Amino acid sequence: MTEFRSVVAATGEPNGPALAVHGPPDVAAACAAAAAAFDTYRATSRAARAAFLEGIAAEILAIGDPLIEAAMQESGLPRVRLEGERGRTVGQLRMFADVVRAGAWQQLRIDPALPERQPLPRPDLRLRMIPVGPVAVFGASNFPLAFSTAGGDTAAALAAGCPVVVKGHPAHPRTGELVAGAIARAVAAHGLPAGVFGHLVGPSNELGAALVQDPRIAAVGFTGSRAGGLALLRLAQQRPVPIPVYAEMASINPVLLLPAALAARGAALGTAFAGSLTMGAGQFCTNPGLVLAIDGAGLDAFLVAASEAVRSAPAQTMLTGGIADAYARGVATLEALPGVETLATGAQGEARQGHAALFRTAATTFLAEQALGHEVFGASSVIVVCADEAELRAVLDSLEGQLTATLHMEASDEALAVRLLPLLERKAGRILANGWPTGVEVCHAMVHGGPFPATSDPRTTSVGSLAIDRFLRPVSYQNLSAAVLPPELRDEARGDGAPRLIDGQPAH
Amino acid sequence: MTEFRSVVAATGEPNGPALAVHGPPDVAAACAAAAAAFDTYRATSRAARAAFLEGIAAEILAIGDPLIEAAMQESGLPRVRLEGERGRTVGQLRMFADVVRAGAWQQLRIDPALPERQPLPRPDLRLRMIPVGPVAVFGASNFPLAFSTAGGDTAAALAAGCPVVVKGHPAHPRTGELVAGAIARAVAAHGLPAGVFGHLVGPSNELGAALVQDPRIAAVGFTGSRAGGLALLRLAQQRPVPIPVYAEMASINPVLLLPAALAARGAALGTAFAGSLTMGAGQFCTNPGLVLAIDGAGLDAFLVAASEAVRSAPAQTMLTGGIADAYARGVATLEALPGVETLATGAQGEARQGHAALFRTAATTFLAEQALGHEVFGASSVIVVCADEAELRAVLDSLEGQLTATLHMEASDEALAVRLLPLLERKAGRILANGWPTGVEVCHAMVHGGPFPATSDPRTTSVGSLAIDRFLRPVSYQNLSAAVLPPELRDEARGDGAPRLIDGQPAH
């Protein structure tokens, strides 16, 4: 077995001693503990579970600066970004605590008995959502805090009442270990079984494969590459009992420059676009990797400003050597494509750094060359110039599923936007106007998801309060006596604050 | 190509002339029409869509007795059952009309902008559910009306705003054609594009395979055999763009006789059980194919009464010759198993009829013999006698996922029921007390679903108003102007009756 170490992202140098690596027996032990903890954990009250989530947030904050420093070393991301990411991580745990307390996630429904109904009486039927079971979460490389050990999937699954087994991302094992320790302390402090949270680390794909194949795992959350997500999806589907995989994979996030916006502020849009493109070395799922413009006034100004900003963009350390290499290969592929013009590249850096890259092509070329529609993870983007609305629509129609679609528009573009909206809805999980897709708000109305291959399951989101639904399934109870019914479905629970439907009508 | 005809279930005789059979070009045409109709159909108002669903119900009723007669001939089911099933079919269309009007299915969420928030302003975010796209529905053999052409999946998908392409069950083509005609008349009467509903008929599996593989199909609803469901699931997963399959497949629906209930009314339970077992020749997804009892007072009385009732049960025509043959093979397999006692069999009938069959075995035998846990579709059931609670729990734990689990219990059984409930919840979608699983109420709190292999997706139900969620996915809109926003998400839509969450708080 090769040695497994934490690595300094900027240099590739080892960052401390060799680390213990988990193997199949550890997977089995973590899953057995999770399964054993499941019924106890899911029986916790809403108040107790919410307090536990808040306890995790407090324990993460209590680590203090060592957490930020470990994440900076391992990811190469700057302090201000990671401090913000920690705030987001803690914030989403607290949001889920509020969601758990409010109780709407239980989807309580009561259809009282109708003993006099003809020709047959109606029995008493009551429904609630219960958690699906132990959940496997794969930490992402690009958000070592907010999409990783205690990230969105972990928070949503714990909120739903599911024990979680995290497969930590091998690019940030020290960061992951610190966060896992914080969760374990909260588990203990709240008197929960240790199996509520498990943490597995190691460099091999076999570790994750064993986790997905363990019969006690009921669902999988993953954020990463298309190849990685599809491999896990295949394993999950080939199990004797198939399970859902929520994999967030590949998206190039088309940005549409509508004619009036382009004419009114082409240069400003170009500069702002480059800022969104190069932020964080472009290592966002929602990075704007595709720009669609109808040829016309303002396009040249956009191209000039965007090119200028890209040329002056510094090289940035990428998350891992592997990601930097893959980015360089992706850029080289685009540079070599016939009909694709390299508009600008940013400053070349050292090994493990990425430079921004901007390309331009015609719609006809884009439609003929599949590689132009594939994600290059990093600060690379392709501008597709369309002759008219029909060509713009053809390019959109050719796209695979996306996390986001962005419209830059003025009031006089509204009619065009309305015509395009149905197509955009079929292609993306979030549609935004006059902004950039790289900011993902954690709130109730967020969808961070979308049609395949943006995700493996467009019926859900990985960010925001709706994510709790991923890890729930409905159970119906017919004619159970009050002593046997789950407490929240008993008549006396009415008024506990959780909304319920009685005969289909909202009630509290 | 072999000739395709409607067949009289009772005799196997042809029922009218050879029928036209659809092939791949018809699949492509139906899917193209559905895709072309999608944006128009999903843009219908709640009121218009609800009226359309009610229009389908009215057109089905307007067919009158010829529909009942066709279904009687093709299914062998009796008039009273089919009249009841028609009522259910019409009732669930009307229920979905009410659901569509009420609007909660849209899951509207609005998080207003917070321009002053530090360190970054929050954009305006609004979320709604949109339909997934054209849905393929496979009609079931055992409910020629309520789970077929205009059955639950069709009603839920149309309610969600999805065009539907039905692959009619080859066992009832005339019934299907009559219902398809009713739907088509409603489509025309409500001014909708014809592609909102398509109907394909033919005897080959290739027809269904082509439908699931068509790139325009976005989801699949299926009720039928485990082999059939798994085949469609595999096809759907192997598509370039995988799609969800909601397959309801195999369930043996364990019935637990708890000790006090058994002691108090063993004989009455035995008689009632046999009634549930033999109803409709046992051809229900929720047929009680497994009875679990702890050895003790009342067990003998139960066995005697159940055996007596089964012995006096008449043979009944089964839905198709193939189903009758498969049932006979399944019963023969059970009869031949070592350690399995044949307690009673019903009257032997003619070809294409099934006779009831009741078996008894010990928990140790059940745990050692996988075949005892497999569904035999028809009026066959196995009684497993357990020595104690631990053995009962071991048998339950060994079961695959189920649609239902039933408890027969007295007040003094409640402590045991409470102990068993978490295990039952992990195994089944519906848990009922002191009744029989064969009645499935169409209402808001129903779950007709459950863990694999009862269904391929336990996160949903195929019966009841919650089924609409199968065919929806969330989309988020960020900073869109009112003119571009979908109407239901505009500020002025507040008060339109649909519930919404504003900043996570319920509002109307």
Q: What is the pLDDT along chain B (508 residues), one digit of tens a residue?
A: 468 999 999 999 998 899 999 999 999 999 999 999 999 999 999 999 999 999 999 999 999 999 999 999 999 999 999 999 999 999 999 999 999 999 999 999 999 999 999 889 999 999 999 999 999 999 999 999 999 999 999 999 999 999 999 999 999 999 999 999 999 999 999 999 999 999 999 999 999 999 999 999 999 999 999 999 999 999 999 999 999 999 999 999 999 999 999 999 999 999 999 999 999 999 999 999 999 999 999 999 999 999 999 999 999 999 999 999 999 999 999 999 999 999 999 999 999 999 999 999 999 999 999 999 999 999 999 999 999 999 999 999 999 999 999 999 999 999 999 999 999 999 999 999 999 999 999 999 999 999 999 999 999 999 999 999 999 999 999 999 999 999 999 999 988 999 999 999 998 7
Is residue B237 in a domain?
Answer: yes
Regarding whether A227 and A101 lie in a shared domain, the answer is yes
Domain residues for the domain of B163 are 24-249+458-471
CB pairs under 8 A between A and B: 224
Residue A2's pLDDT is 63
Q: Is A130 on the interface with B (CB under 8 A)?
A: yes
Residue A119's pLDDT is 86
Task: Check which CATH number belongs to the domain holding A281 and give it.
Answer: 3.40.309.10
Is residue A226 in a domain?
Answer: yes
Measured between alpha carbons, how far is residue B346 from residues A318, B77, B316 in Å?
A: 73, 18, 10
At residue B268, φ and ψ (nearest 5 deg) are -65, -40
Question: What CA–CA distance (Å, rounded) separates A344 from A304?
Answer: 10
Task: Give the count of domains, chain A.
Answer: 2
- Segments of B435-485 assigned E as strands: 472-478
Residue A268's pLDDT is 98
Regarding whether A235 and A291 lie in a shared domain, the answer is no
Q: Which residues of B touch A417 (CB under 8 A)?
A: 484
The pLDDT tens digits for A484-497 are: 999 999 999 988 99
Task: Check which CATH number belongs to the domain holding A148 and give it.
Answer: 3.40.605.10
Is residue A445 in a domain?
Answer: no
**Nearest CA to A288 among A253, A248, A250?**
A253
Regarding whether A194 and A340 lie in a shared domain, the answer is no
The pLDDT tens digits for B447-479 are: 999 999 999 999 999 999 999 999 999 999 999
Both tokens of B440, joined, read 């499935």
Question: To the nearest whole angstrom, how far is the Cα of A437 from the nearest Cα of chain B?
Answer: 10
* Secondary structure (3-state) at A338: coil
Report whether A380 contacts A359 (CB < 8 A).
Answer: yes
CB atoms inside a 10 Å sphere around CB B483: 11
Regarding whether A138 and A177 lie in a shared domain, the answer is yes
Q: Is B91 on the interface with A (CB under 8 A)?
A: no
Regarding whether B422 and B291 lie in a shared domain, the answer is yes
The one-character DSSP state at A287 is: -
* pLDDT beyond 70 at A1: no
Q: Which residues of B touch A233 (CB under 8 A)?
A: 242
Q: Where are the alpha helices (DSSP H) in B288-433?
A: 299-311, 321-336, 363-368, 389-398, 414-427
Q: Where are the alpha helices (DSSP H) in B117-204?
A: 152-160, 173-189
- Residue A222 pairs in a beta bridge with A138, A247
- Omega cis (within 30) before B453: yes
Report whether B42 contacts B105 (CB < 8 A).
Answer: no
- Omega cis (within 30) before B14: no
Residue B2's pLDDT is 63
Contact at CB, A125 and B441, closer than 8 angstroms: yes
Regarding whether A361 and A217 lie in a shared domain, the answer is no
Question: To the nearest whole angstrom, how far is the Cα of B318 from the nearest Cα of chain A?
Answer: 25
Contact at CB, B443 and A43, closer than 8 angstroms: no
B185: left (phi over 0), alpha (psi -120 to 50) or beta: alpha
**Nearest CA to A285 among A86, A456, A77, A448?**
A448
Single-letter residue type at A217 = I
Residue B494's pLDDT is 87
Regarding whether B312 and B221 lie in a shared domain, the answer is no
Neighbouring residues of A431: CB distance < 8 A, sequence distance ≥ 6: A404, A405, A406, A407, A421, A424, A425, B475, B476, B477, B478, B480
* Rounded (5°) CA angle B67-B133-B196: 40
Q: Is A98 on the interface with B (CB under 8 A)?
A: yes
**Nearest CA to B258 among B292, B306, B225?**
B292
**Which pLDDT band, with edges at 50, 70 and 90, does A483 fall under?**
very high
Radius of gyration of chain B (CA): 24
Neighbouring residues of A118: CB distance < 8 A, sequence distance ≥ 6: none
CA torsion, ordered A347, A348, A350, A355, to nearest 10 deg: 80
Regarding whether B228 and B275 lie in a shared domain, the answer is no
Is residue B157 in a domain?
Answer: yes
**What does the longest C-alpha to C-alpha distance in chain B come to?**
80
Burial of A122 by CB count in 10 Å (0-12 exposed, 13-18 middle, 19+ buried)? middle
Contact at CB, A461 and B474, closer than 8 angstroms: yes
The mean pLDDT of chain A is: 96
Enumerate the active-site residues of A: 248, 285
Nearest CB to B127: which of A401, A407, A447? A447
Is residue B357 in a domain?
Answer: yes
**Nearest CA to A106 among A462, A471, A484?**
A471
Regarding whether A196 and A155 lie in a shared domain, the answer is yes
**Which pLDDT band, with edges at 50, 70 and 90, does A181 fall under?**
very high
Nearest CB to B414: which of A43, A475, A484? A484
Nearest CB to A435: which of B111, B123, B430? B123
Q: Where are the alpha helices (DSSP H) in A162-296?
A: 173-189, 205-213, 226-238, 259-278
Is residue B189 in a domain?
Answer: yes
Closest residue, chain B, to A507 (C-alpha)? B506
User: Hey, of B276, B478, B480, B502, which one would you mutate to test binding to chain A, going by the most A CBs within 10 A of its CB?
Assistant: B478
Q: Which residues of A touch B441 (CB under 8 A)?
A: 111, 122-123, 125, 478
Contact at CB, B123 and A484, closer than 8 angstroms: no
Is residue A483 in a domain?
Answer: no
Regarding whether B201 and B62 lie in a shared domain, the answer is yes
Question: What CA–CA distance (Å, rounded) separates B380 from B363?
Answer: 18
Residue A495's pLDDT is 85
In A449-478, the residues whose Cβ lies within 8 Å of chain B are 449, 451-453, 456-461, 465-466, 472-478
Say what the ipTM of the complex is. 0.97
CB atoms inside a 10 Å sphere around CB A184: 17
Question: What CA–CA distance (Å, rounded) separates B202 from A266?
Answer: 57
What is the mean pLDDT of the segment spanning A446-466?
Answer: 97
Both tokens of B264, joined, read 């108090």
Residue B337's pLDDT is 96
Question: What CA–CA distance (Å, rounded) separates A153 from B58?
Answer: 46
Contact at CB, A426 and B126, closer than 8 angstroms: no
Regarding whether B338 and B323 lie in a shared domain, the answer is yes
Q: Which residues of B touch A438 (CB under 8 A)?
A: none
Both tokens of A120, joined, read 């047959």
**Nearest CA to B285 among B92, B467, B95, B428?**
B428
Report whether B60 contacts B90 (CB < 8 A).
Answer: yes
Is residue A506 in a domain?
Answer: no
Both tokens of B308, joined, read 């007596």
Q: Is B484 on the interface with A (CB under 8 A)?
A: yes
Q: Which residues of B touch A50 (CB under 8 A)?
A: none
Question: What CA–CA distance (Å, rounded) separates B245 from A54?
Answer: 37
Contact at CB, A422 and B39, closer than 8 angstroms: yes
H-run or E-run covering A349: none
Regarding whether B85 and B231 lie in a shared domain, the answer is yes
Contact at CB, A132 and B458, closer than 8 angstroms: yes
**Which pLDDT band, with edges at 50, 70 and 90, does A508 fall under?**
confident
Closest residue, chain B, to A437 (C-alpha)? B478
Single-letter residue type at A421 = L
Question: What CA–CA distance (Å, rounded) separates A295 from A399?
Answer: 20
Q: Is A80 on the interface with B (CB under 8 A)?
A: no
* pLDDT beyond 70 at A50: yes
Report whether B252 contacts B292 (CB < 8 A).
Answer: no
